[in-house]
Structure 1
Amino acid sequence: MDAAARIHRAAFDQALPALAGLHTPEADRWFFRERVFPGCLLWGAFDDAGMTGIVAFREGWIDQLYVLPVAQGQGAGTALLQVAQNAFDRLQLWTFQRNWRARRFYEARGFALVQETDGTRNEEKEPDALYLWIRA
């Protein structure tokens, strides 16, 4: 779980630097151990250097999908997403509106925008976007 928390933090901070440092590394590790791991299936992507990406999903939802910045664009995110898509016929996920790279990634893989919010309901108070994928 510690490696998953480190990947999450590195990818999150690179994608959204204005929100960097929102949580401590200890809080990230706690979140993965106590919240993500017990409620989700968790898969990792690996290369010779170790774990490079993670996906955490449960029925109907992708809760986390992060790839280390140095490993992005090499297929790990797509492979991890396909694990979740192979497991379920319908998936939803939230991403932040200004995370255009993530939005393009999901849209290119068949996810459709369902809703945008002003962010008042998320911890970061950041406008977000709900996406949905349904197996054709």
Structure 2
Amino acid sequence: MTTRRLILSDAEAAARVHRASFDERLPWLAGLHTPDEDRAYFANFVFHECEVWGFFDGDELIGFIAFRENWIDQLYVLPAYQGRGVGSALLIEAQARHAGLQLWTFQRNEAARRFYENRGFIVAEQTDGSHNEEREPDVRYVWRRERPPG
């Protein structure tokens, strides 16, 4: 298994990982976008605005993280690979490049919430979802690298 920075030609594979993971963890939101809309979003926004890293099992992309200055925009792992350290390895890529990060996740996504809380992220804000596309209550987490003593 390997990790590498993704390039624009990887956008379609990242969109597939996103959709598979999103639909598995958040079935009540499945079908919000078509596969074509997902591909366009990744190619035209995510890969232009973010640094994107992927985790591979052989040639298969099994997880990715997209981050920019102080923000994690996306972190998804194929359901069959969740709980195996893939998400942690990807998160380390972002944490190595930034002293602080924040992200949004849905309040009902308990697995994601546990994942981030177990890695030092703390709740900074909760909303009723009225300002996100899905109209789903969400939560903003923040993480700061601890400064070494002295």
The interval holding the TM-score normalised by the smaller chain is: over 0.9
Q: Percent identity?
A: 60
CA offsets, 1:20-40, max 9 Å, x none? Answer: 011000000000001100000
Q: Distance in 1 between matches of 2:60 and 2:125?
A: 36
Moved over 6 A (4+): none
**Matched residue, 2:82:** 72
CA offsets, 1:77-105, max 9 Å, x none? Answer: 00000000000000000000000000000
1:103 corresponds to 2:108 = no
Give the TM-score normalised by the residue count of structure 1.
Answer: 0.99
Q: Distance in 2 between matches of 1:19 and 1:50?
A: 26
**Matched residue, 1:124:** 134
Give the TM-score normalised by the residue count of structure 2.
Answer: 0.90
**Matched residue, 2:8:** none
Q: Distance in 1 between matches of 2:84 and 2:113?
A: 17
Number of residue-to-residue matches in the alignment: 136
**Matched residue, 1:115:** 125
Query: How far is 1:48 from its partner?
Result: 2.6
CA offsets, 1:110-136, max 9 Å, x none? Answer: 000011000000000000000000001
1:8 corresponds to 2:18 = yes
Root mean square deviation, CA, Å: 0.6
Deviates more, 1:94-103 or 1:40-49: 40-49
Structure 2's unaligned 5+ residue stretches are 1-10
